[in-house]
Amino acid sequence: MQPLCLIEDIDEGDARGFNLNGSAIIAIKKQGELYLYQNSCPHRGINLEWQPDQFLDPDRQLIQCASHGALFLIESGQCVQGPCFGEHLKPIKFSVQDKQVLVELPDTLLSPNPQAGND
């Protein structure tokens, strides 16, 4: 488990993006519950946001991908509208100890990123 942030770093009803050792993670707090997912849209495998920490729809009830507008349930990560309908954001295992959010990154996120700039 690795420390990600403090629980109070995420406001109620809001979302934040984190980069932990090169792994992009989103954290959402809704009704006191915390939800963590890999920041990767199932449609194209790219980050969900265009603007920092902008992960929610205008009503702040769903996670929204900025690229093609896919909408995901905060509680399950399931896509309920958009090109990846029925697919899921990948959850991140975590625990909270002494207000510290600790995450367990999956092996796929720990391996070196093969993407390299070509220009």
CA torsion sign for 7, 10, 14, 19 is negative
For residue 63, the minimal CB distance to ligand FES (Å) is: 10
Residue 107 parent element (H or E): helix 107-110
Phi/psi for 107 (5° steps) reads -55, -35
Q: Which of 13, 34, 44, 100 binds ligand FES (CB under 6 A)?
A: 44
Q: 3-class SS at 17?
A: strand
Q: Which of 10, 41, 63, 105 binds ligand FES (CB under 6 A)?
A: 41
For residues 52 and 112, which CB has a smaller minimum distance to ligand FES in the complex? 52
Q: Contacts with ligand FES in 47-86 (CB under 6 A)?
A: 65, 67-68, 70, 82-83
Query: For 64, how many CA atoms within 13 A lie in the half-sphere containing its CB?
Result: 15
For residues 77 and 94, which CB has a smaller minimum distance to ligand FES in the complex? 77
Write out the residues near ligand FES by the rule CB under 6 A.
41, 43-44, 46, 65, 67-68, 70, 82-83
